[in-house]
Structure 1
Amino acid sequence: MLFKKVDLENRVQDIRIRGKRITDIALDLIAEEGEEVIYANGGALLPGLHDHHIHINATAASLNSLSCGPPEVSSEQELADALHKSATHQPQQWLRGVGYYPFKGNEESNIIDRDWLDKNGPDCPIRIQHRSGRLWVFNTKGLDALGKAGVSLDANILDKGHIYDADASVHEALMSDPQNLSDLINLLLSYGITGVTEVTPRNATEDFLNYQKHCAPLRMTIMGRPSLCDATDKSTDRVSIGHVKLHYHDHDLPSLETLTQEIQEAHAQGRGVASHCVTHAELMLTLAAIEAAGPSKKDRIEHAAIVTQDALDWIKQLNIGVVTQPNFIVAREHAYRQDIDKDMHPNLWRLGSFQKKEIPLAAGSDAPFGSFNPWLAIHAAIHRPVIFDDGEALSPEKALELYTTEATDMRIQRIIKIGSVADLCLMHQSRNALFKNPIKAKVHMTLIDGKIVYKS
């Protein structure tokens, strides 16, 4: 396969692929007999993008769910209208909503409950997920269906219809068949994504095998439980085992000793830990535990939503990496203005500070809780809201690099060179045009192992 006139690092080049690898890069390569020739017309050729933090099953489910929060829905009346409109297309079936965020602030008193859904929603089972992913809100018919499916419902749940931190039990009770992933995979390929890191904490061997079976041709690194190591002999160059996922919240933080032991056990398996850290308390406990366990270069912080200067210095000292979500600072700007004290604004979703300290940094979508379109995140990394900038915005080149690091080692940048595996993304735009406005990025082709897996 021969690509003619691609924009490679702002130079027009030809590139030849044989089998899975790039074999030639030159100014003017001559097509061989029978060789497929693709005319790029100056379109940028990039390494295939990698989403370093995504929940695949939940994201696939969200494609058939109603958006219940900003920007599509911005008031309780709009939410009620959207619920009724959606129900007309699937009467008497489950109505599943995602992305909900209280419109008057995130205090408990502002969150809709069972009574609100009964009064304002359609006459069918309803469940709506809070934007954080931690809370499901059910109406009465939804609670009845959940109870019949075998989920234990205490008096508090029955009163408000709020179920916290029970995504696994809700999923198992209501999903009789594996989630269809084909539509999501095709969308990811259309954005130039050639690989993802699946980060759901409960992932075990059976999840690994399911992804291996249903996620081709995407490359996947799957993190999750310590028991994932049982699938080591089933790893391939396409689907492999990643970090042990640590997922705690302020209300259920373990002791330092317990967390330290978990980290030591992960290291004993030859795996790093990937620790969910949205709040300052979550981050500081994690850093203390990593230090006590003895840090590994494989260890990483997920999200790093709030990082003070002291925490930044500590991360650098431990020599660990960060995987963050650049798009959240744009998508959730209104909520952060409303709910986060102004003196904490400089600590929100840092980017530039990590790179200035040479802290390994990569990005993921956290879909379905954020958009899985990487170009929105790249645009957001370049064009942060002024109120949250303070030197944290990145150059276009550095923003793109957040998505082109190796899946298991964000210290390594994947580059296009002779001998490298042909996981590639060919754009319609030149590199300069792409960087001027990434939000309008248009992918021409996506290749994995030298095969075209998407073509616009």
Structure 2
Amino acid sequence: MPADTVFTNATALTMSAAQPWAGLVAVRGGEIAFVGESRDLGRVAGPGTRVIDCQGGVLLPGFIDAHMHLFSLVRALLGVDLAPPAVSSIEDIKSVIRRAAEKSPPGAWLTGAGYHEFYLAEHRSPNRRDLDEAAPENPVILCHRGLHACVLNSRALALAGITGETPDPPDGLIDRDLITGEPNGILYEMLGYIREKVMPPLSRDDYDRGLARANERLLAYGVTSFHDASVTNDFVRWRSFARSREEGRLKSRVYMMLAPGAAAQFREQGMATGSGDDGLRLGGVKIMLSEATGQVRPAGPELCALSTDLDRAGFQLAFHAVQRNTVQAAVRALEYIGRNVSARRHRIEHCSECPPGLLARLERLRPVVVTQPPFLYYSGDRYLAMVPPEEHPWLYRFRSLMAAGLVVGGSSDSPVVPGNPLYGVYAAVTRQTEAGWPLLPHEAVDIGQALAMYTVNAAYAASEEKRKGSIAPGKLADFVLLDGDPMKSPPEQIKELKVLMTVIGGRVVREG
């Protein structure tokens, strides 16, 4: 039977050991039907076949971002950009918020995202007083670059009911003036609560506008699938993803993690990790491990009980663990489960700090590690300045984790940093910060390993390696066409490669 579409005159880097390189890929019914050479065109094409000449471009499996936050990205794209170099001081922030207030009616929420105190001239976070000066008639919320903190002005705090008498929530922290004890507007690990319980939901028009921008950005980066790691995901969010996919407004395929409290909702529907289809699949339960209150939460016994119950119910576990103490808590929980760690593909998200003792325990357990190579580029200079030098050897140990036999997936944590996988590949290979400083160069991986993080390894993290991650017959026809070969490019030029075409299910969804 002739192919629906044939991609020919390509240099296909398949990420498949059985056939590493090819010149032609034939697609039928949204799946790869044949992988061969351009001379095979006559064998696979018929009168109705669409033939796409790749003009020597490099065809790879579509990139998979194994940890990002779509709805945070949507909100960030609708708000004021506070990331460097857009702003460089609190005065800049006040200025752009003031301009936004002038264009908005009194009482309308103003949002901004992407600030980090390290990159501000004052080297401190903005506070409620700063925002009150800029927009006294509007509630304002600014989201920290890391998404684990936010700043509210007085009007927003009042709407949230947060006063000097408000106790800290169990897993969060209300920062306070050291003299008066009054909230200074800075909240830790409370962004989800403010968005879900205090702020009005996005209007359908605003959501559609933000989703269109997010969809375009994903396709421009060649991201054909992503794992949504939002800890607020529930069955309502599942239906929202499904609707966006059905209406064609979200092209990339979704692996949706869920909140621990939402697991019962899915169990009532007879669902667990892996439920769904190729377009939208239910992922693991996102378990937030945080030290915002000064100690790891959830506490050990609670964490072990929660992890055991979810594992027995058929859910993959995805532990948010950044610092060594939270990584250690995740390891203890996995050791407590004592089974199915590798088979269930339980995951540790981030694993930013990994001392030798923890690495040895991870080697025994073999969870999947999903980490963020582009953090080395975008945040590496901050790590060098702020992380104690004796802890530098523990940071983002890609090579050591792989050498220990762990599957390591790549991601962006977007909108924390931009979601271009090629920057992640570049950072994993060079370990260069934005200013050009090396950060543990002995933990660099080769280009093939770095590409695997965003293809076969990311697919493995979702138990989807039989459908995604490489160009092979029977797999989904998801591709990205680049203007150069990352395997042959000088490492420092990898991030400069351009996406010429993005293909999902054999259909070209973006060109140029």
Separation (CA, whole Å) in 2 of partners of 1:288 and 1:106: 41
Asked if the contact 2:83/2:114 (under 8 Å) is kept, the reply is yes
Counterpart for residue 16 of structure 2:
none
Asked if the contact 2:447/2:487 (under 8 Å) is kept, the reply is no
Counterpart for residue 500 of structure 2:
444
Asked if the contact 2:88/2:120 (under 8 Å) is kept, the reply is no
Asked if the contact 1:274/1:299 (under 8 Å) is kept, the reply is yes
Asked if the contact 1:360/1:410 (under 8 Å) is kept, the reply is no
Unaligned runs of 5+ in 1: none
Asked if the contact 1:106/1:339 (under 8 Å) is kept, the reply is no
SS at match of 1:388: coil
Aligned residues: 450
Asked if the contact 1:76/1:103 (under 8 Å) is kept, the reply is no
Counterpart for residue 363 of structure 2:
316
Deviation of the 1:106 alpha carbon: 13
- State the structure with bigger RCO (CA 8 A, min sep 6), 1 or 2: 1
Picking from 240, 250, 259, the partner of 2:281 is 240
Asked if the contact 1:199/1:222 (under 8 Å) is kept, the reply is yes
Counterpart for residue 277 of structure 1:
321
Separation (CA, whole Å) in 1 of partners of 2:400 and 2:136: 48
2:253 is the alignment partner of 1:249:
no
Q: 1:232 to 1:106 in 2, by over 3 A?
A: farther
SS at match of 1:196: strand
Asked if the contact 1:222/1:239 (under 8 Å) is kept, the reply is yes
Matches within 5 A, 1:198-277: 198-215=228-245, 216-224=250-258, 225=260, 226-227=263-264, 228-232=266-270, 235-250=276-291, 251=293, 252-277=296-321
SS at match of 2:224: strand
Counterpart for residue 127 of structure 2:
113
Deviation of the 1:424 alpha carbon: 1.4
Counterpart for residue 419 of structure 1:
474
2:134 is the alignment partner of 1:100:
no
Deviation of the 1:159 alpha carbon: 3.5
Asked if the contact 1:42/1:430 (under 8 Å) is kept, the reply is no
SS at match of 2:474: coil
More divergent stretch after superposition (40-49 vs 414-423): 414-423
Asked if the contact 1:396/1:435 (under 8 Å) is kept, the reply is no
User: Per-residue CA shift, 1:177-211, capped at 9, x if unaligned?
Assistant: 46332321222122111111111122111111111
Separation (CA, whole Å) in 2 of partners of 1:230 and 1:396: 44
Q: 1:319 to 1:411 in 2, by over 3 A?
A: farther
Deviation of the 1:238 alpha carbon: 1.5
TM-score, length of structure 1 as denominator length:
0.91
SS at match of 1:332: helix
User: Per-residue CA shift, 1:210-236, capped at 9, x if unaligned?
Assistant: 111114432111111323334455722
SS at match of 2:91: helix
Counterpart for residue 218 of structure 2:
188
Counterpart for residue 8 of structure 2:
4
Separation (CA, whole Å) in 2 of partners of 1:175 and 1:373: 31
User: Per-residue CA shift, 1:401-428, capped at 9, x if unaligned?
Assistant: 1110215138878321223221111223
Counterpart for residue 160 of structure 1:
184
More divergent stretch after superposition (426-435 vs 25-34): 426-435
SS at match of 1:355: helix
Asked if the contact 2:88/2:121 (under 8 Å) is kept, the reply is no
Separation (CA, whole Å) in 2 of partners of 1:100 and 1:404: 30
Picking from 193, 198, 205, the partner of 1:169 is 193
More divergent stretch after superposition (294-303 vs 401-410): 401-410
SS at match of 2:451: helix
Separation (CA, whole Å) in 2 of partners of 1:258 and 1:50: 33
Separation (CA, whole Å) in 1 of partners of 2:348 and 2:311: 15
Separation (CA, whole Å) in 2 of partners of 1:105 and 1:443: 33
Unaligned runs of 5+ in 2: 14-19, 167-173, 175-181
Q: 1:387 to 1:427 in 2, by over 3 A?
A: closer
SS at match of 1:391: helix
Deviation of the 1:242 alpha carbon: 1.0
Picking from 70, 77, 85, the partner of 1:56 is 70
Asked if the contact 1:222/1:243 (under 8 Å) is kept, the reply is yes
Asked if the contact 2:114/2:416 (under 8 Å) is kept, the reply is yes
Picking from 25, 30, 50, the partner of 2:35 is 25
User: Per-residue CA shift, 1:304-357, capped at 9, x if unaligned?
Assistant: 111111111111111111000011122112321222101111111221111122
Asked if the contact 1:208/1:231 (under 8 Å) is kept, the reply is no
Counterpart for residue 45 of structure 1:
59
Separation (CA, whole Å) in 1 of partners of 2:464 and 2:375: 21
More divergent stretch after superposition (74-83 vs 220-229): 74-83
Q: 1:442 to 1:67 in 2, by over 3 A?
A: same
TM-score, length of structure 2 as denominator length:
0.81
Deviation of the 1:121 alpha carbon: 5.8
Q: 1:21 to 1:263 in 2, by over 3 A?
A: same
Separation (CA, whole Å) in 2 of partners of 1:404 and 1:104: 32
Separation (CA, whole Å) in 2 of partners of 1:104 and 1:39: 45
Counterpart for residue 352 of structure 1:
399
SS at match of 1:17: strand
Separation (CA, whole Å) in 1 of partners of 2:270 and 2:393: 42
SS at match of 2:23: strand
Separation (CA, whole Å) in 1 of partners of 2:119 and 2:420: 28
Counterpart for residue 15 of structure 1:
25
Deviation of the 1:383 alpha carbon: 1.8
Asked if the contact 1:321/1:410 (under 8 Å) is kept, the reply is no
Asked if the contact 1:321/1:361 (under 8 Å) is kept, the reply is yes
Picking from 456, 459, 463, the partner of 1:409 is 463
Q: 1:195 to 1:39 in 2, by over 3 A?
A: same
1:254 maps to amino acid:
P
Deviation of the 1:15 alpha carbon: 1.9
Picking from 362, 375, 393, the partner of 2:444 is 393
SS at match of 2:463: coil
Matches within 5 A, 1:364-379: 364-379=411-426
SS at match of 2:443: coil
Separation (CA, whole Å) in 2 of partners of 1:168 and 1:430: 41
Deviation of the 1:358 alpha carbon: 1.9
Percent identity over the alignment? Answer: 25
Asked if the contact 1:229/1:241 (under 8 Å) is kept, the reply is no
2:225 maps to amino acid:
G
Separation (CA, whole Å) in 1 of partners of 2:462 and 2:139: 41
